[in-house]
Structure 1
Amino acid sequence: MEPILITPLVLLAVVFVVYRQMKTRPTAKRGILYTAAAMIVAGIASGGAIDPRHLVLSISLVLVEAAIAVALGVWRATTVRVWLDDSGVSWSKATAWTMLVWLASIAIRVGLYFAGGALGLELSTGGILLFIGLTIGAQSYVIAQRGRALSSTARRPDTVVG
């Protein structure tokens, strides 16, 4: 995919995801995980994440980027407020800290993009899609797990399990 086409799509997807995170949402929804998976597949399918001229260096950078993407997603997930309502449904909503970590995530990704270029690697948009998909997926997964953990610990002692 051409960088001129992919850049606005990535920006639109990130803005949409951040906007939705700022709204109160049930943690059990899985739609964002499908979006993240689609971005990961598109990033891999579009190619260019691995530079065949610098195979070891580019694979190393992709692995570092993947680890950082997941770590940033987990970090952002810890800044999201997760709670149970009176009926036992878990909800989430991003905080101002989440927005700050999003800004840090974007700055780190831009830095990695230009670091690859400075190392002589061919710059690609496939790597950007892969990074965004991994980071969104990791964040969503951890938030869902936090919601499930709250729901399972919220069982009342007088509840009969059978």
Structure 2
Amino acid sequence: METVQISLLVLLAVVFVIYRQTRTRPAAGTGSLYTAGAMIVLGLVSGGLLDSGGSGELIDTGHLALSVTLFAVEAVAAVALGVWRSRTVRMWVDDSGVAWSKATGWTLLAWLASMATRVALYFAGVAAGLTVSTGSVLVFLGLTIGTQAYLVARRGRALTGNRIFS
């Protein structure tokens, strides 16, 4: 996929996910996990995992240790930011026993921090001389959205006494 196409896909995905989170919706659903998984897979296969010729794959073999370290930092940051955002989502159970969720202002602030963190990591990679991949943006988003979705669904299931993925 071309950089422009991936950038548009990322932008649309983020806008869609944030929009959905600002709407009141059942908390126990796992549909966002499928979207997150698709983003991770697309990010991994959108150019390959290893870069030996400067074409921008996830791991730059010319700077292997630094590239793997940055990728690991991105993954940890994505998960941590997903955990943080999941804690900012308002959750409640209605009279019929259904768990509901809705993003708060804190969730939107956490999304801004997530985007700022991703941009900072991108420019850190560029400054370090790494060949930066647009696919890594998809992996980052997939991990962070998936983490948040899983934890919100888990909280929703805990509120109603159901087990996740049952």
- Per the TM superposition, whether the score is higher than 0.5 is yes
Matching of residue 87 in structure 1 with residue 96 in structure 2:
yes
Alignment of 1:72-111 (within 5 A): 72-111=81-120
Aligned Cα RMSD in Å? 1.0
Paired position in structure 1 for 2:137:
128
Q: Structure 2: which 5+ runs fail to align?
A: 49-56
Alignment of 1:1-162 (within 5 A): 1-46=1-46, 47=48, 48-152=57-161
Q: Distance in 2 between matches of 1:30 and 1:142?
A: 10
Q: Helix, strand or coil for the counterpart of 1:5?
A: helix
- Counterpart of 1:4, as a letter, is V
Q: Which has the larger radius of gyration?
A: 1
Q: Distance in 1 between matches of 2:72 and 2:59?
A: 10
Q: Distance in 1 between matches of 2:74 and 2:23?
A: 28
- Report the alpha carbon displacement of residue 29 of structure 1 after superposing the two structures with TM: 1.7
- Report the alpha carbon displacement of residue 5 of structure 1 after superposing the two structures with TM: 1.1
User: Structure 1: which 4+ aligned runs deviate by more than 6 Å?
Assistant: none
Q: Structure 1 length as normaliser, TM-score?
A: 0.92
- Report the alpha carbon displacement of residue 27 of structure 1 after superposing the two structures with TM: 1.2
Sequence identity of aligned pairs in percent? 65
